[in-house]
């Protein structure tokens, strides 16, 4: 927000506009996305994984961090998008962008349908219901092996080239095209999500997260809003799943697995909830930590992850990222 724009405004209006202004670190993050592609060509495969997990975690943040909907089964939408994209490429059309759109649409529809299950009950009910939905989809994908390939996964998915106004790009082994593609989807999704969370609708989600009774008492339909954000988050999770299937040319039962729902929750907790970028920072830290620790001691990754989580939660993220406060006196 530039100053000439707001100088003539009353303090209230200026303050109100200031909520949605771009912070310097946000701009730095958006700038870092293309820079990582330019500067780290050898790491494209790892970075691509990070971008996909980041997108997945951002979608979880929309429902958990903003609307306060807890979920242990967010992989349902990730997996659904993954299989939708893979099946579409295999049976109908190898074009990645069309496949992405189909996967997003399919996951959004699944989100819309299953959102009725999370409207009632307590957090515990929601944890169980979301977990249940993901398990049901896992077993469906396992059982319908004529369509999904069952436990072997869906193999032989051949993706066509990315057709853009700048030319056609084939997915290559180094993963650079794949990473550019994932980055673009992540960047666009983040931008759209940012518009959403600062809009009246987005702020109303935080309001109903804090106090549903009051949200209804100022005339907001809590249920409609929960349905809407659940559907949007499902669509974005589906996009992340589609990216995985398209850039790896493979979809397996693993995309619906419980560990994926748990991992995305961990990633989001590491990065922090409720400010939109937690998923991105969490994915970077999580994947780098995973890479470093597994290179050093492959068997005991979970030990170090666990230790890191305990420290993170006990010390607090705010203090952990500000080392200069570690030894100062408490004020």
Partner 1 sequence: MSVVLETRSLVKRFGGLAATNEVSLKVERGARHALIGPNGAGKTTLINLLTGVLEPSSGTIALDGSDITHLSVHARVRRGIVRTFQINQLFNGLTPLSSLALTVSAQQGKSAGWWKPLGSDAAVAVECENLLERFRLADVMDLSVGLLAYGKRRLLEIATALACKPRVLLLDEPVAGVPEGDRQEIFETINALPAEVSILLIEHDMDLVFNFAKTVTVLVGGAVFAEGDVASISNDPRVKAVYLGEDDAADAVLAHG
Residues making contact with partner 1 (CB under 8 A):
9-13, 15-20, 195-196, 198-204, 206-207, 209-211, 213-222, 274
How far apart, in Å, are the Cα atoms of 126 and each of 57, 114, 135, 136, 232?
18, 11, 14, 15, 18
Residue 280, CA atoms < 13 Å, CB-side half-sphere: 19
Q: How many residues does the structure list for the chain?
A: 331
- For partner 1, which is the closer residue by CB, 21 or 259? 21
- For partner 1, which is the closer residue by CB, 70 or 136? 70
- For partner 1, which is the closer residue by CB, 213 or 295? 213
H, E, C per residue of 266-311: HHHHHHCCCCCCHHHHHHHHHHHHHHHHHHHCHHHHHHHHHHHHHH
Residue 100, CA atoms < 13 Å, CB-side half-sphere: 20
Distance of closest approach, residue 19 Cβ to partner 1, in angstroms: 6
Distance of closest approach, residue 226 Cβ to partner 1, in angstroms: 13
Locate tokens 């560990």: which residue? 259
Nearby residues of 39 by Cβ (< 8 Å), 6 or more positions away: none
Helix, strand, coil in percent for the chain, rounding step 5: 75, 0, 20
CB 253 within 8 A of CB 136: no
- For partner 1, which is the closer residue by CB, 140 or 203? 203
- For partner 1, which is the closer residue by CB, 148 or 204? 204
The rounded distance, in Å, linking the Cα atoms of 101 and 249 is 17
- For partner 1, which is the closer residue by CB, 13 or 151? 13
Distance of closest approach, residue 60 Cβ to partner 1, in angstroms: 18
Distance of closest approach, residue 222 Cβ to partner 1, in angstroms: 7
Distance of closest approach, residue 205 Cβ to partner 1, in angstroms: 10
CB 214 within 8 A of CB 207: yes
Distance of closest approach, residue 237 Cβ to partner 1, in angstroms: 18
Distance of closest approach, residue 191 Cβ to partner 1, in angstroms: 11
The rounded distance, in Å, linking the Cα atoms of 1 and 131 is 42
Q: Which two tokens stand for residue 293?
A: 């620790």
- For partner 1, which is the closer residue by CB, 12 or 146? 12
């Amino acid at each position: 927000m530039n100053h000439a724009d707001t100088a003539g405004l009353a303090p209230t209006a200026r303050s109100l506009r200031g909520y949605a202004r771009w912070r310097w670190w946000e701009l730095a993050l958006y700038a870092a996305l293309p820079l990582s592609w330019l500067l780290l060509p050898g790491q494209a495969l790892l970075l691509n994984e990070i971008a996909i997990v980041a997108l997945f975690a951002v979608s979880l943040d929309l429902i958990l961090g903003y609307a306060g909907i807890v979920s242990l089964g967010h992989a349902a939408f990730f997996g659904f998008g993954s299989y939708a994209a893979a099946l579409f490429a295999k049976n109908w059309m190898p074009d990645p962008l069309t496949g992405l759109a189909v996967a997003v649409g399919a996951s959004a529809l699944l989100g819309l349908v299953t959102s009725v299950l999370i409207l009632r009950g307590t957090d515990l009910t929601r944890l169980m219901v979301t977990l249940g939905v993901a398990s049901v989809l896992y077993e469906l994908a396992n059982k319908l092996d004529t369509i999904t390939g069952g436990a072997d996964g869906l193999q032989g998915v051949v993706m066509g080239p990315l057709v853009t106004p700048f030319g056609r790009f084939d997915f290559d082994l180094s993963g650079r095209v794949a990473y550019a593609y994932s980055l673009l989807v992540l960047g666009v999704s983040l931008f759209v999500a940012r518009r959403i969370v600062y809009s009246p609708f987005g702020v109303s989600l935080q309001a109903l997260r804090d106090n549903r009774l009051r949200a209804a008492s100022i005339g907001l339909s809590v249920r409609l809003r929960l349905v809407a954000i659940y559907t949007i988050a499902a669509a974005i999770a589906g996009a992340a799943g589609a990216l995985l299937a398209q850039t790896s040319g493979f979809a397996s039962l693993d995309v619906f697995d419980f560990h994926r729902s748990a991992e995305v929750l961990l990633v989001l907790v590491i990065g922090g909830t409720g400010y939109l970028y937690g998923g991105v920072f969490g994915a970077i830290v999580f994947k780098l930590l995973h890479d470093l620790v597994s290179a050093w001691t492959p068997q005991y990754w979970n030990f170090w992850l666990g230790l890191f989580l305990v420290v993170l939660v006990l010390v607090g993220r705010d203090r952990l990222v500000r080392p200069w406060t570690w030894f100062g006196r408490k004020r």
